[in-house]
Amino acid sequence: MSKRHWPFLLGGLLVALLLAGVVSNYASSHPDGLDSSLLKGCTVNADDEITGGSCPAQQAKDHELADSPLADYGVRGIGNDFVSTGLSGVLGVLLTFAASGGLFWLARRRGPATPAAPVTPATPTATADRADEAATPSGGTR
């Protein structure tokens, strides 16, 4: 990678870290389209807990990774929700950047796989043949 690409790459990383670390805390806490469509037919309280009715969300189970360190858009063990969510976003950006950078590094061009064929000087007859082809109206054979 040439040196002129590094400022652009680092600037993009900085913007992504800023968005993930700070702006992600201001995302909507209301359920998105999938969550709200799964709640149709049920009644919910102020804490979004199902209190009655019948809906597909009642059959929902906890995910297998619900106990993981980055579950529920936060870092387990940090009491401050703002810091926990921001740190989770920053870790996600850094992990994604490292994984994609590693894949690009593996897939980069390393030069030609075989040595290039040596260039042979043109012979006078080959040059004359090319000039004859160019002189014909169709550009091909006579």
**Amino acid (one-letter) located at 116:** A
Q: Tell me if 37 sits within 8 A of 19, measured CB to CB.
A: no
Cα diameter, the chain: 93
- pLDDT tens digit string along 113-136? 666 666 676 665 555 555 555 555
- pLDDT tens digit string along 27-76? 877 767 787 888 889 988 888 788 888 998 888 888 888 888 888 888 99
Q: What is the pTM of this model?
A: 0.60
3-state SS class at 45 = coil
